[in-house]
Amino acid sequence: MRLTSRKQYEEFRVRATRRLEGMRCRVLVCTGSGCLAGGAREVAEAVEEGLRERGLLDGRQGVEGKRTGCHGLCEAGPLVSIEPEGILYTRVTPDDVPEILDRTVLGGEVVERLAYEDPRSKNRVVHYRDIPFYKYQTRIATRNVGRVDPHDLEDAIAHGAYAGAVKALFEMTPEQVIDEVARSGLRGRGGAGFHTGRKWAACRRAPGDVKYVICNGDEGDPGAFKDRAIMEGDPHSVLEGMIIGAYAVGAREGFIYVRDEYPPGVLTSLHAALEAAREAGILGRGIFGTGMEFDIRITRGGGAYVCGESSALMRSIEGKVGEPRAKYIHGTERGLYDRPTVLNNVETWAHVGAILTRGGEWFAGMGTPKSKGTKAFSLSGKVRNAGLIELPMGTPLRHILHDIGGGIRGDRPFKAVQTGGPSGGVIPEALLDLPVDYEQLTEHGSMMGSGGMIVMDDRTCMVDVARYFVRFLNEESCGKCVPCREGLLQMLHLLDGLCEGRGRPGDLDRIERLARGMKWGSLCDLGRSAPNPVLSTLRHFREEYEAHLRDGACPAGVCRALTQYEIVPERCDGCHECVEVCPTAAIAGKPKQRHVIDQEKCIACGECFNVCPVDAIRYGPKARPATASAGATT
Amino acid sequence: MPTVTIDGRRVTVREGAYVLEAARLAGARIPALCHHEAVEPIGACRLCVVDIWKPGWDADSFRLVASCLYPVEEGLVVHTATPRVMETRRVALDLLLARCPETPLVRDLAREYGIEETTYRKRENPDDCILCGLCTRICDKVGPAAISTQSRGVLREVAPPFFEAPPDCIGCGACAEVCPTGHIKVTEDGFTRTIWGKTFEMLRCPSCGRAYLTRAQAEWMAGRGMPVEPLCDSCKRRRTAEVAASLGRPR
Ligand SMILES: Cc1cc2nc3c(=O)[nH]c(=O)nc-3n(C[C@H](O)[C@H](O)[C@H](O)COP(=O)(O)O)c2cc1C
Ligand code: SF4
Ligand code: SF4
Ligand code: SF4
Ligand code: FES
């Protein structure tokens, strides 16, 4: 099938849509990484096998089974959804499949026990539209992730893929396309939030007939997965964005730079999409029968976090060492192979097709004055509904945590949310009503970054958090420039000192001064933003730093060198639960008798504290009388 | 040729120059440990930072840049010693001193900026390498590209591939020549030169008899059609002087 004119595309789309609408029942099995880890492949196989046994596999009875990308609610996977009713089944095992097929697909009834269980009310919620996690989301970049089969171009087109590209190519000049993107207010979703329209315009203006567009799919932030979910679950949205971008700036070649450590699913998905698009005449020479020529290659990442930085990424594509270069000349003028280049994040690209289809104004109608549209987040940490979400800019943090995220796991008190990846910062409870957009996060010492959101409860030490990120960055610094390379090492030494009770008077000043020097002096944004995790925790939790330094105490009971756990004898009822969880077998005691912690063996992991049902365990600074315990719950 | 203002002094520099060159022309003292005229700048030491302002910017909006690779342009205003510049240099020097506490070059420069002892934790078993990358850049420029930086972060170091005697090294000694701290050791005994754990046979100057070039380098150059200097540097200079003298007025 080749789509060599606008008419052919439209006709194909109508056919595909009709086919889709003619489907009485579609069983969509999530095969995103989260669900795969939970056994989704076996579920998908059971669905296919079950359909075959029931004579439904050929789709002629209006029933079909599909494997899709991430549905978002990874926490409750493996997920299976039933369309068009919009039923969501959670924690599905292969053994559940016959029941789903017989009762729901054939019988039209709901299998209650598989429906989503509201973590608070414990009620079963059957439909997507009623589940808070989904109800409050607005999905644009992730519009088709989890809804289409990434290996089926027809399915994607039935869901609107390439409508924006066709509109751009047939109805608009490149300048008009850029204007539309500018009007949408779209800003980069991968880091600094640069205006996408302006970036494209600069590249279009730059002299030269060879230009490139690049998709940054490096996503090196630990725990982040939104770009992966898009590339894996809806690769056509990325290709469509890049086609539109290439048309706008006049590029004939594009690159998708994919993180090296990604599971093979991402590459399989992308390759399949590229192949299908080429076969359909959507990539290559004469796209949709126009004179446009454009193709995309996939490049595997260099395996280092810093390779996600724009100049390092371009060097890496060129086959050189992926190290940042000082750039006082923009990539839009001299980028890949020194040619004018547009580099955008996966999510940024995925937005573009929708913006062209529905108009810049529509997109700009969502969000805040300076941050438009929606933003995808990888929600993780101590929140009940961890997963992939997309929300209008300006959504209050409280709403994200409590309504969408379902609150803190174990109903512990909330302490902070860390946003923006390793060089982001924390937002404390006092700022929970903060509307999340670029400006607000930056103003309060954090950043949007690529949309990581790690929720932390009261059992988190902020000095330890800063140390964790500094340690990560210290390992990932390329080491080229002094402030970043040597600065991160010394910052780590200083934080290690605090966490291990070796802090010296004046350390906080030393930390702040070093941070400033790194910020000012470093060559690339890794080093320049590396002090953020320290500065922001220091800004919002200074008293915690002071406790470490002055009292040698870790108020959260996390820093092992500073913390001692003990059992209050009068409270212990000998339930024995702590003994079960202690990783070093440091707790002695027979069931129904009082238990004791052997301080020699205890590593202060706090597991016992977390499980004790009668609050008999308390902690305090090491080698001080237990009565002076800081932050203990007694 | 663009005219720029350095600390209030206007200077005109060649097109394509970097700010460091212009600033030095104007008499500013700027430390620049990873800079060398012979190779392209990379902006690694960050000591050469300056504050710049461009026409069109808000009056109070300055930007801190590495002068060794910031290209000059008409109307650029440069301040080479603002508090921010000095503080950035001090932090970088303090950090370098923790890395190389015994290295005279670093110690002297740090002292100039008021730092006698580092604020930070000193490296254990320090060497003299400040990771300026001059050696690898000069080796790339000479041609063999025999050494490179390996690993990242603080583990970064200059080394031959696989940390063995570099197969591509021709023993030219350019890296040792350019190394600002003398970290790269070269030994010569009149017959051989040893560098990077590799020993080279030396060729002798036919005029004075001094060992002046490794055979490997001569062959390497000949293999690439480069003219191999038949005399050592000092004989060459003397010969030139003699020729000049015989012509009358040296020029
Ligand atoms: C250390 C470092 C790592 C980065 N990693 C990524 C990444 O993984 N993905 C990404 O899209 N941008 C990353 N960026 C930001 C990119 O440099 C660049 O700004 C971005 O890809 C531009 O796309 P956008 O305008 O669409 O956001 C990183 C930046 C730095 C300094
Ligand atoms: S700031 Fe860090 S990552 Fe960036 S060039 Fe310098 S050392 Fe490398
Ligand atoms: S001596 Fe060897 S390593 Fe040094 S510059 Fe010459 S060829 Fe390169
Ligand atoms: S060996 Fe010398 S020239 Fe090479 S990086 Fe180290 S200090 Fe610089
Ligand atoms: S001389 Fe400019 S950064 Fe080193």
Kindly report which listed range (A25-29, A223-227, A361-365, B26-30) carries the lowest average pLDDT score.
Answer: A223-227
Q: DSSP for A282-325, please give it.
A: SSBSSGGGSS--BEEEEEE--SSGGGGSHHHHHHHHTTS-----
CA distance B96 to B111: 12
CA dist list (Å): B67 to A613, B50, B78, B233: 63, 6, 9, 33
Element (H, E) at A7: helix A6-21
Average pLDDT value for residue range B32-37: 96
Of A633 and A102, the structure prediction assigns the larger pLDDT to: A102
- The percent of residues in chain B predicted with pLDDT above 90, rounded, is 73
**B161 and B230 part of one domain:** yes
Q: Return the CATH number of A463-551, one of 1.10.150.20, 3.60.15.10, 1.20.1440.230, 3.40.605.10.
A: 1.20.1440.230
Angle at which helix B83-99 crosses helix A482-499, to 10 degrees, equals: 70
Where are the domain boundaries for CATH 3.30.70.20 in chain A? 560-621
Ligand 3 atom having least distance to the Cα of B147? 3
Q: Is residue B122 in some structural domain?
A: no
Model pLDDT for residues A221-269, shown as the tens digit of each residue: 888 899 999 999 999 999 999 999 999 999 999 999 998 888 888 999 9
Kindly report which listed range (B81-90, B94-103, B214-223) carries the lowest average pLDDT score.
Answer: B214-223
- Taking an 8 Å cut-off on Cβ atoms, the answer to whether B153 and A490 are in contact is no
**B71 and B140 part of one domain:** no
Best of B24, B68, B78 to mutate for ligand 5, by most ligand atoms within 8 A of CB? B68
Collapsed DSSP state (helix, strand, coil) of residue B64: strand
| CA-based nearest distance A361→chain B, Å | 31
Chain A contact for B63, CB < 8 A? Answer: no
Query: For position B248, what pLDDT does the model report?
Result: 64
Indicate the residue of B43, B64, B120 with minimum beta-carbon distance to A490. Answer: B120
Asked whether A242 and A235 are in contact (CB, 8 A), the reply is no
CA distance A133 to A527: 36
Chain A contact for B64, CB < 8 A? Answer: yes
**B104 and B141 part of one domain:** no
Confidence of residue A140 (pLDDT cuts 50, 70, 90): very high
CB-CB neighbors (< 8 A) of B43 in chain A: 326, 481, 523
Model pLDDT for residues A428-457, shown as the tens digit of each residue: 999 999 999 999 999 999 999 889 999 999
Indicate whether this complex's ipTM tops 0.90.
Answer: yes
Q: How far is the CA of B170 from the centre of ligand 3 (A)?
A: 6
Kindly report which listed range (A167-171, B95-99, B187-191) carries the lowest average pLDDT score.
Answer: B187-191
Structure tokens at A231: 């590339």
CA distance B192 to B202: 5
Collapsed DSSP state (helix, strand, coil) of residue A239: helix
Indicate the residue of A306, A479, A523 with minimum beta-carbon distance to B154. Answer: A479
Ligand 5 binding pocket, CB closer than 6 Å:
B 32-35, 43-48, 66, 68
Q: Return the CATH number of A21-130, one of 3.40.50.2300, 1.10.12.10, 3.30.420.40, 3.40.30.10.
A: 3.40.30.10
Average pLDDT value for residue range A349-373: 97
CA distance A178 to A195: 11
Model pLDDT for residues A377-398, shown as the tens digit of each residue: 999 999 999 999 999 999 999 9
Positive or negative, the CA dihedral B215, B220, B223, B229 is negative
- Taking an 8 Å cut-off on Cβ atoms, the answer to whether A486 and B98 are in contact is yes
Q: Which distant-in-sequence residues (6+ apart) come within 8 Å of A191 by Cβ? A: A345, A449, A450, A525
- Taking an 8 Å cut-off on Cβ atoms, the answer to whether A481 and B43 are in contact is yes
Give the residue numbers spanning the domain of B11: 3-112
pTM over 0.90: yes
CA distance A552 to A504: 11
CATH class label, A560-621: alpha beta
Q: How far is the CA of A218 from the centre of ligand 1 (A)?
A: 8
Q: Give the up-direction half-sphere exposure of residue A269: CA atoms within 13 A in the CB hemisphere.
A: 31
**B228 and B179 part of one domain:** yes
CATH class label, A374-460: alpha beta
Beta bridge partners, A194, equal none
Structure tokens at A17: 């849509």
Chain B (110-139) residues lying within 8 Å, Cβ to Cβ, of chain A: 119-121, 130-131, 133
Ligand 4 lined by B129 (C-beta under 6 Å): yes
What residue of B is the nearest CA neighbor of A512?
B91
- Interface with chain B: mutation pick from A328, A473, A482, A508, highest number of B CBs within 10 Å: A482
CATH architecture of the region A153-364 = 3-Layer(aba) Sandwich (3.40)
B47: domain CATH number is: 3.10.20.740
Ligand 4 lined by B135 (C-beta under 6 Å): yes
Confidence of residue B249 (pLDDT cuts 50, 70, 90): low
Q: Is residue B235 in some structural domain?
A: yes
Q: Is residue B100 in some structural domain?
A: yes
Domain end (from B112, B147, B182): B112
Angle at which helix A346-358 crosses helix A235-249, to 10 degrees, equals: 80
- Number of domains chain B is built from: 2
Q: Judge whether residue A632 has pLDDT over 50.
A: no
- Choose among A147, A184, A158, A235: nearest CA to A352: A184
